[in-house]
Amino acid sequence: MAADVGIQMAALSAGLRAMAGTIEVREVTRLLDQAATLDEEEPLRSSIARFVERYATVRRDPDALSEAGAELRRAVELGVMTNPPDLSRRDIHG
């Protein structure tokens, strides 16, 4: 099952705010609570959990926090990508 769009947007927002250094603890806590509603197999859930763990150790290091935010943002981007219908065509995709 795909992640809920609201949770995807919350994760994207958290990632971008972490990259900008403006994320707050309550936003991270809220995101973790939202992620708990996802299936355990959902990749976004584990990405959010990694971000929250990392946030606890790097929240005062702007560079590391920005990197953690970028990783979360990338996880959201990968989660919304779809496979092209012609993916199996070797003449196009090799």
Per-residue pLDDT tens digits for 36-46: 999 999 999 99
CB 66 within 8 A of CB 18: yes
Whether the per-residue pLDDT at 31 is higher than 70: the answer is yes
CB 72 within 8 A of CB 35: no
Instruction: For residue 92, give Cα distances in angstroms to 41, 59, 82, 83, 89.
Output: 32, 44, 17, 14, 6
Mean pLDDT over each residue of the chain, to the nearest integer? 92
Alpha carbons 59 and 23: distance in angstroms, whole number = 9
| Mean pLDDT value across residues 54-72 | 97
CB 72 within 8 A of CB 28: no
Helix or strand or coil: residue 68? Answer: helix
Higher pLDDT, 47 or 82: 47
| Mean pLDDT value across residues 10-30 | 97
User: Among candidates 20, 8, 7, which has minimal Cα distance to 68?
Assistant: 20
Whether the per-residue pLDDT at 60 is higher than 50: the answer is yes
pLDDT of residue 1: 46
- Residue 2 pLDDT grade (very low, low, confident, very high; cuts 50, 70, 90): low
